[in-house]
Amino acid sequence: MSESEQTTTGAATNNSPGSTVATYTVSGMTCGHCVNAVSTEIGTLPGVTGVDVDLPSGAVTVTSATPLAKGDVAAAVDEAGYELVGPENDAGPGR
């Protein structure tokens, strides 16, 4: 019985198994304060473990323990005072 060497690759990312990463697009953010407001609001959603915002593109990458309902993310973004505009493959009824 020889134990095979476990080469844990040096990536120090703390990704727990079963975590979900989803990217959304938020419009209206213009500065670090906006980024902070959006991250904070999304961070209050249950299961969210990380929020990463790219200000120039408005891309918001959310890491969570379980998949989030887009409506919940949209509500959080709205709460922060901005608008969730993507992903556009949202088959909801038009406004």
Cβ nearer to Cu ion, comparing 28 with 47? 28
Q: What tokens appear for 9 in the block?
A: 């690759």
Ranges within 31-70 binding Cu ion (CB under 5 A)? 31, 33-34
Picking from 78, 30, 74, 37, the residue whose alpha carbon sits closest to that of residue 55 is 30
Q: How far is the CB of 43 from Cu ion (least distance, A)?
A: 17
Stretch that binds Cu ion, among 29-37, 51-59, 63-71, 72-80 (CB under 5 A): 29-37
Amino acid present at 59: A
Element (H, E) at 51: strand 48-54
Cβ nearer to Cu ion, comparing 34 with 53? 34
Q: What tokens appear for 27 in the block?
A: 């419009």
Picking from 81, 74, 85, 66, the residue whose alpha carbon sits closest to that of residue 35 is 81
The single residue among 2, 9, 14, 30 that binds Cu ion, judged by CB under 5 A, is: 30
Coil/strand/helix, residue 24: strand
Cβ nearer to Cu ion, comparing 34 with 76? 34
Chain contacts with Cu ion (rule: CB under 5 A): 30-31, 33-34
